[in-house]
Amino acid sequence: MVLLQKINSSADVKNLSREQLPQLADELRAEILRVVSANGGHLSSNLGIVELTVALHAFLDLPNDEIVWDVGHQCYAHKLLTGRQAQFDTLRQADGLSGFPKPRESAADAYVAGHSSTSVSVAVGISQAARLQGQKKRVYAVIGDGAMSGGMVYEAMNHGGDLHTPFTVILNDNEMSIAANVGAMSRYLTRLRTNRRYRRLKDRVTKFLLKRKQLGRSLYYGLEHFRDAIKYFLVRGVFFEEMGFVYLGPVDGHNIDELLETLKLAAQIDKPVLLHVITQKGKGYLPAEQNPETFHGIGSFDLATGSTKPKKPSYTDCFSARLLQLAEQDERIVAITAAMPQGTGLAAFAKKFPKRFYDVGIAEQHMVTFGGALALRGMRPVAAVYSTFLQRAYDQLMQDVCLAEAPLVLAVDRAGIVGEDGETHQGLWDIAMLRAMPNMTLMAPRDALTLPPMLDFALAAFRPVALRYPRGEAAELAEYPPQPLVLGKGEVLSQPQGAQLALLALGDMVAPALQLQKLLAAQQISAAVVDLRFAKPLDEDLIADMAQQYGRLLVMEDGVRPGGVGEGVLAILAARQLSAQVELAAFPDEFVPQAKPQQLFEKYGLTAEALYERVMQRWFA
């Protein structure tokens, strides 16, 4: 790391000669590979954007100018160039460097990011603030072609293009979202990219017209193509131009000289600019180049071979397998993802039933309303989405699903603690969010065995139903096989004679509740255990019964306390004027930082051991 170790800020990058910049890029790549192979992280996106990051640091007047990274998962090289090399080994670990931009971590990070398609709005906001305060600065939103499938980008371009204040959108086009990119905009970008094809097409059509004099259908189509070819040849980026942006590019995003020239040109333009940069995801590491999707976000892996550790079956796998079985039996079943076919377990469905599978792009709002309409016209849509990204679609869920009474099934994956991706990715708000919605049903399986019957139930319920389950390995509580489901009814798993308290747990918290029961039993304290199964509607009668029988309730959930099932239990007791002592085991009203899931359960006192201490202290000291 001859050059990299001398770099503390972009001023140091500017001190390098142009000839040294490619070497700096190589060193950055090596460092990213070293740390991501150990810690896991967003590899492919970071490898692909190294030269662009170097060029930005070599050219911009940072930190006066500002870079807004969309999603932010591609900011590793930026972190390494802005005084964070010494901490880079702590990437994505507890108390370590975040895998995303974080202004609290460094002033070089312009804005928080993690959720897609916000960068243009942020750039418009920052550039307008500068204008209003009489400051001179240029703001650069760096956004991927995948993130360009998110609707917010067009709201922001519609607004920002009309304001005329100069700022630059750098479109980092690698033809990939996490999976292959989808949609009309993606096709349009391909047309811009393959501009040379149009030139050839124009030549071909001209020859065709000259050689053949006969008229008819083929000539008609020939003329159509000819007109398109001319249009795209002459007015590149016409869409962006119409939105008020000067379109520059496409530029080779791995050629630093070319990037620097174009950045210079862009900075001279006194209008919003869209600079189209072509990159390769995973660039420079063969396994990632060959398989950019697997290496998009990855756990630790063997650097020499690119191989990862085999994973144990997850809740996602369970969901995926059951949905396939159900779809074989019912042709009305349709699966929808917002750009995450692999992560949500829908890739197998897509392969088997391509006609009944939709990847809508990074468009959770559209996904929900689209799913609602499918559902109300006789299809059985299942939209699989990570809890954190479902937040995007709050209003669509409320209006276009719950109010519309659309029987959409939501498979809410990565619900609860997500871990190393940190604050932006924890799935801690879906319970509170969905519990507030009339007509919604929210269920949570306790293990791999109870997930399939819940999915069956959800599809048969003919109402809006969400099924939430966490990231990672699924518990398997073979001692407690699934019991028939009844809407809004919990299940008493264990009710020993003379129990002194009841543990009411939701979903993945049932396993620790059973563990806690054992820890208490070792002290001759016997506890009943209830799997709530439904977070909405809550089983009011069962909860009231438990309160009356035992007088002490511990409510366990892996979501935030405000609006959670614990508060729901308190509301039921208040409404029925029952007095019981209630302990709420939930995440507090705060953003939960990055760490391994187990570390976070320990930190927030939500392991069986920590709850044992809490129960003993409060009730049995």
Residues known to be catalytic: 281, 364, 392
Determine how β-strand 66-69 pairs with β-strand 139-144.
parallel
Which one, 424 or 607, has the nearer CB to ligand TPP?
A: 424
- The residue among 293 and 447 lying less far from ligand TPP, judged by its C-beta, is 293
Stretch that binds ligand TPP, among 168-176, 202-210, 213-221, 371-379 (CB under 6 A): 168-176
Cis peptide before 63 (omega within 30 of 0): yes
Nearest to 382 by CA among 420, 409, 415, 347: 409
The answer to whether 156 and 169 have CB atoms below 8 angstroms apart is no
Closer residue to ligand TPP, CB minimum distance, 338 or 382: 338
Verify binding: residue 182, ligand TPP, rule CB under 6 A.
no
The residue range among 30-38, 173-181, 250-258, 505-513 that interacts with ligand TPP, by the rule CB under 6 A, is 173-181
Number of chain positions touching ligand TPP (CB under 6 A): 23
Nearer to ligand TPP, 385 or 466 (CB): 385
The answer to the question of residue 174 lying near ligand TPP (CB under 6 A) is: yes
Strand partners, 169: 141, 274
| CB burial readout 107-145, b (16+ within 10 A) else e | ebbbbbbbbbbbbbbbbbebbbebeeeeeebbbbbbbbb
Does 414 bind ligand TPP (CB under 6 A)? Our answer is no
Could you tell me the smallest distance in angstroms from the CB atom of residue 145 to ligand TPP?
Answer: 5
Interface with ligand TPP (CB under 6 A), residue from 99, 101, 146, 419: 146
Does position 76 bind ligand TPP by CB under 6 A?
A: no
Query: CB of residue 323 vs ligand TPP: minimum separation in angstroms?
Result: 20
| 10/344 with CB nearer ligand TPP | 344
Contact 543, 572 (CB under 8 A): yes
The enclosing H or E element of 584 equals: strand 581-587
Please state, in angstroms and rounded to a whole number, the distance separating the CA atoms of residues 303 and 285: 9
Told to check if 71 binds ligand TPP by CB under 6 A, we report yes
Instruction: Rule CB under 6 A: say whether 178 interacts with ligand TPP.
Output: yes
121, 127, 168, 177: residue in contact with ligand TPP (rule CB under 6 A): 177
Work out whether 463 is an interface residue with ligand TPP (CB under 6 A). no
Shortest reach from residue 174's CB to ligand TPP, in Å: 5
102 forms part of the interface with ligand TPP (CB under 6 A): no
Q: Which stretch binds ligand TPP (CB under 6 A): 22-30, 58-66, 141-149, 520-528?
A: 141-149
| Among the listed residues 419, 347, 399, 353, the one whose alpha carbon sits nearest the alpha carbon of residue 380 | 353
Encoding tokens for residue 99? 């895998």
Report how far residue 149's alpha carbon sits from residue 358's, in angstroms, rounded to the nearest whole number.
14
Cα(375)–Cα(410) distance, integer angstroms: 12
* 115 is an interface residue for ligand TPP by CB under 6 A: yes
Residue 145 binds ligand TPP (CB under 6 A): yes
The strand order across the sheet containing 273-278 reads 66-69, 139-144, 168-173, 273-278, 246-252
Residue nearer to ligand TPP on the CB measure, 43 or 475: 43
Place of tokens 């080779």: 252
State the DSSP code for 420: T
Residue 441 is a binding residue for ligand TPP (CB under 6 A): no
Closest contact distance (angstroms) between CB of 19 and ligand TPP is 27
Which range in 71-79, 210-218, 312-320, 603-611 contacts ligand TPP by CB under 6 A?
Answer: 71-79
Q: Specify whether the CB–CB gap between 269 and 240 falls below 8 A.
A: no
> Closest CB to ligand TPP among 7 and 362?
362
**Residue range at the interface with ligand TPP (CB under 6 A); choices 128-136, 338-346, 478-486, 551-559:** 338-346
Q: In angstroms, rounded to a whole number, what is the distance separating the alpha carbons of residues 34 and 415?
A: 30
In the list 84, 283, 392, 471, the residue contacting ligand TPP (rule: CB under 6 A) is: 392
Q: Strand (E) positions, 331-479?
A: 333-337, 357-359, 380-386, 409-413, 441-443, 465-468
**Does residue 219 sit in helix, strand or coil?**
helix
Q: Is 389 in the site for ligand TPP (CB under 6 A)?
A: yes
Q: Which of 124, 256, 277, 339 binds ligand TPP (CB under 6 A)?
A: 339
> Minimal distance in Å, beta carbon 545 to ligand TPP?
41
Query: In angstroms, rounded to a whole number, what is the distance separating the alpha carbons of residues 191 and 233?
Result: 10
CB 226 within 8 A of CB 205: yes
Residues that bind ligand TPP (CB under 6 A): 45, 71, 73-74, 115-116, 144-147, 172, 174, 176-178, 281, 338-340, 362, 364, 389, 392
